Every structure is written in C-alpha cells, then in structure tokens.
Amino acid sequence: MNGLHGIIFSYEKRNNLRELGEIRSAASIPFGGRYRVVDFALSNLVNAGVTDVGVVLNGRYQSMLDHLGTGKVWDLSRKRGGLRVLPPFNYQKDWGVMPFRGKIEALAGVRTYLDTIRQDYVALMDGDLVVNLPLADIFEEHVKSGADVTVVCGNDSFATEDGTYFEKNSEGRITEVLYNLHTPRGYRGLEVYILSTQLLKDLVDECAAKDQFSWRKELQTRKDSLYLRSYIWSGFAAQIRSVQEYYDRSMQLLNPAIRAELFCPERPIRAKGADKSSTYLGPEGKCVNSLVAEGCRIEGTVENSILFPGVVVEAGAVVRNCVLFKETVVRRDAQLSYIIADKDVEVLSNRTLMGHATYPIVLAKGSKV
C-alpha cells in the first residue's frame, strides 16, 4: 500500500456532448476503439500503485455502474480498500435531482467516506480526462516539494469547454487561477490535484460551512496562503467535454507518436475485454489509417476511422473520418463521413450521411438510419 488515495469525479456538468451525453456521463463515453474515458483515470491511479479509489457519481450513472462492476478489471476488487462507488447517498439537497455545483459540494456529499481514507494523500481526478500521467513521479515530487497542493496542467494549444487555467512563476508556484475566460491563457488545468487527506477534509468542512461549493474558486481565494505548485505535463491530455473535442481528440489517436505515448507499455491502460472473435477483413475489404477493435467484419472501405468492437461494414460501404461505437452496422453501399455513431446504430443500404470536420454528426444510440 502506498500513501496515495484516488478520488474520481463523475457527476453531470454543463457540457456540449449532445447525444453522446444524453444517456451517460462523460466518464463512461467510449473512447479510442475499446476504452471508456474513465479507464484512463483508473489506470493512471492503479499504475501509480494506488490501491483504493473512490468514484463520486451523480446523475445518469447507470452506464458507469455497469462499466465499473466490482473493479476487477483494474485489480480494484480487494478485501480491504479497492473500488468504492459513491452515489450521492449523503447529499443534503434533493436526492439525485440537483446536480453537484462543484467538486467541494461533491466531496461534502460523501463526507463520511473521506474519514475512511487510509492514506495520507489524495489524488483528485476528473472522469472526463484522457491521459497517461506518470502519477507515481508526480506524487513523489509533491511530497518532496512540500507543496500544499500539486496542480497538474497540460501544455498544448487545445482549449477545453469550461476549462480552468493557471499562471505560474518561474519556480512553478501558481500565481493565478482563471476560468470563464473568453480567450484562454496560462496553462490548461487537467483537474488533477494531489494534496494531503487532512487538508482536503479541512477545506471541505470550511467551505461546506459557508456554502462554498467550487474547488477552483477556493484555490483562487487561497492562492497566496497555500503553496499551490504546478506540474506541467507536455504530453497528450484530452478533456472530453464537447462533441468537437471528442472528435478531434479521437482523430489524434491515428498519430503513431500520440498512441505510443498514451498506450505506453510501462503504464498500460486497462479496459474490459469484449469476448468477441478476431476481426475479419473480407477479400474486397480495405482498411487504412484506422484503429480497429476486435469482432469487426469489414467487407467495404474504411479510412481514417476508429472502429469499436463488433462493427460491421458491408461490401461497397465507405466509411471515412468516422468513429463507430460498438456493434454499429453499415449496410451495403452506404457512405459515411465525419460521423460519430453511438452503440447499436444501423445505417441502411445506400444511405449517405456527411458531417464535417468542424461539425461531426452524432447518431444517437440504437438509431436506425
């Protein structure tokens, strides 16, 4: 057992996920051909030696519960510790009706759970983050540096919906906390924080007493009294908060350098198996520059796309620049481009559907076109 505990937030927030978010929280959206977004946060924690992880849920979490199960996939089904699923059992507001307004409110909703944490430190992560962080190293640096809170930031030009941004000085100390920016500046916060369990509980109690619910507002207020230290991660880090981000970030996986980094063998991303047979490409099938999961049958043409398990592309069908979720069926001679098809979608023969790189079309789960 190492000294770090994980808490993952998966509650409903304002977002622009359209049909993808109608039936699930961002954390349980399928990503990268065989993963759910939350697999990344869970794997990051487990790969850093974390044995106990709490997942805070609120709103549309059936899909998430199905996915998490006992936590066995991440070796989190343990006699002591392991996975703790935290629906809003202790939430003072109307049960399940009001979404959490912020992380502090979410933590106040599971306050009794915070007292059961066995470890001295806690890593807070958002469930909508796709990244492969060297979290063990970040934790070690946190302890060595004597910081009160380590704030993990990205370092790329991607803006994100409703993002939090940080400015730092040359020593790495956070000097400003910004959000609701019209034009983003500073470093994009990945909503990954490491702090001591005691400080977390103190902050939660103090804030709850004042009906202060926002974590980032609290950081802003205390940026001088607390030592907020930045950790800058210059690799791939995606926050899935809009259809556009989902699409752009998915397509980045076709770049081998990004795949090599996100799926590095030292820190494997663990996901549920699908119990499907091998993927089969037919005599006339063509599949280039694409990621393909198991159990697919490709008899037509697939280019620049991501296919989840069990996708069928019949002869003559053409799929370009698409993301097709589990069990999508594209019938003969249909043509799709810039489409995100949710689970169990069927596109009938000869249909043509076109989105655009700047507006990918989402086909809702189970729809028949």
Partner 1 sequence: MKKECIAMLLAGGQGSRLYVLTGDMAKPAVPFGGKYRIIDFPLSNCTNSGIDTVGVLTQYRPLELNSYIGSGQPWDLDGSTGGVHILPPYQGSKGGTWYKGTANAIYQNIGFIDLYDPEYVVILSGDHIYKMDYSDMVKRHEEANAACTISVMEVPWSEASRFGIMAVDGDDMITEFAEKPKEPKSNLASMGIYVFSWKALRKYLTEDEADPNSENDFGKNVIPAMLNNGERMAAYRFSGYWKDVGTLESLWDANMDMLSPESGLDLADESWPIYARSVNAPPTYMGQDARVTHSAINRGSTLEGTVENSVLSPSVTVGKGARVSYSVLMPGTVVEPGAVVEYAILGENCRIGADSHVGGTPESAEEGTWGLTVLAPNCTVESGRQVRPGVMLGRNGEEVSK
Task: Give me the residues that bind partner 1 (CB under 8 A), please.
Answer: 32-34, 254, 256, 259, 263, 268-271, 273, 275-295, 297, 306-307
**Beta carbon nearer to partner 1, 143 or 254:** 254
213-215-217-220 Cα dihedral, nearest 10 degrees? 150
Could you give the CA distance from residue 217 to residue 194 in angstroms, rounded to a whole number? 17
CB of 240 to partner 1, least distance (A): 17
Token couple for 272: 């549920």
**Beta carbon nearer to partner 1, 48 or 194:** 48
CB of 279 to partner 1, least distance (A): 5
* DSSP 8-state assignment for residue 27: G
Residue 74 CB coordination number (10 Å): 23
Q: Measured between alpha carbons, how far is residue 255 from residues 40, 134, 287 in Å? A: 18, 21, 16
Give the closest residue to 350 by CA, choosing from 305, 300, 307. 300
CB of 1 to partner 1, least distance (A): 23
CB of 245 to partner 1, least distance (A): 20
**Beta carbon nearer to partner 1, 141 or 294:** 294
Give the closest residue to 163 by CA, choosing from 175, 179, 174, 185. 179
CB of 363 to partner 1, least distance (A): 20
Q: Classify strands 4-11 and 52-58 as parallel, antiparallel or unpaired.
A: parallel
**Beta carbon nearer to partner 1, 137 or 284:** 284
**Beta carbon nearer to partner 1, 146 or 256:** 256
The helix (run of H) or strand (run of E) holding residue 258 is helix 256-262
